[in-house]
Amino acid sequence: MRILLADDHVMVRDGLRPFLMQLAENTEVYEAGSFEEVVETLDRVEGIRLVLLDLRMPGMTVAHGLPAIRERHPLARVVVLSSVTERKQILEAMGLGAAGYIPKRLSAQAMLSALRLIIAGERYVPAALLEEPARPTPTLYGEPDNSERGLTAREREILDLLREGLPNKLIARRLNVSEVTVKSHLCHVFRKLGVQNRVQAARFTMAAE
């Protein structure tokens, strides 16, 4: 398996390389220190299956970098590896096609487990990061922009029940709301998590640190 490890800090790359070699037999790890090097390596090396991407590399922006990689190399699974754990940025990255968001503070074994999930086709974000209190984003009128605050308390509650395997009808009964209300909340949850169905949403949040 071919992996591209992209981080502008050599020490980070040197530290992660031995662990990445444990993911599979015959693993090849390529390195990049800037977004320009990421693009060059992906164009030059065929069959890169996994890209670990630091969002703060020279030339890298979330809004343009992730879509550019996904468009040019749709078969590569792109995983954000970052010290930034703000929910707004996590949801933005996942919404732009990242297969996972791994904080650098995660232990080596937890990181390997997360990467194995991603290689198997799942998406990963530590559930604890999504549960951290959101920071209101002021608008021109001084009010928080709720559309960028991540999951609401009710949405997290519904998501927890979904993970228990409850259908919409039983979730509605448990929360004493209509089934239409549950479906509406789930639509918002799917959009915010960047998933398309109940199974993906449940798997998305089941991964723990």
* Torsional class of 59: left (φ above 0), alpha (ψ -120 to 50), beta (otherwise): left
Using DSSP's 3-state secondary structure scheme, residue 100 falls into strand
**Residue 85 burial class via C-beta count within 10 angstroms: exposed 0-12, middle 13-18, buried 19 and up:** middle
List all residues 6 or more positions away from 69 whose beta carbon is below 8 Å from its beta carbon. Answer: 38, 39, 42, 51, 53, 76, 78
Label residue 128 by pLDDT band (50, 70, 90).
Answer: low
Query: Which of 151, 134, 162, 137 minimizes the C-alpha distance to 194?
Result: 151
Residue 53 has pLDDT above 60, yes or no: yes
Residue 136 has pLDDT above 70, yes or no: no
Label residue 130 by pLDDT band (50, 70, 90).
Answer: low
Residue 52 has pLDDT above 60, yes or no: yes
CATH architecture of 151-206: Orthogonal Bundle (1.10)
For the stretch 73-115, pLDDT in tens is 888 999 998 887 777 888 888 888 888 898 888 888 888 888 9
Label residue 207 by pLDDT band (50, 70, 90).
Answer: very low
- How far is residue 179's CA from residue 185's CA, in Å, rounded to a whole number? 10
Strands 77-82 and 100-103: parallel
Q: Would you state the pLDDT for residue 209?
A: 33
Instruction: Give the predicted TM-score (pTM) of the model.
Output: 0.63
Label residue 146 by pLDDT band (50, 70, 90).
Answer: very low
| Cβ 4 vs Cβ 38: under 8 Å | yes
Residue 148 has pLDDT above 60, yes or no: no
Q: Would you state the pLDDT for residue 205?
A: 56
| CATH code given to domain 2-126 | 3.40.50.2300
For the stretch 157-181, pLDDT in tens is 888 888 878 888 899 998 988 888 8
DSSP 52: E
Domain ranges of the chain: 2-126, 151-206
Q: What is the mean pLDDT of residues 47-61?
A: 88
The residue ranking higher by pLDDT, 17 or 188, is: 17
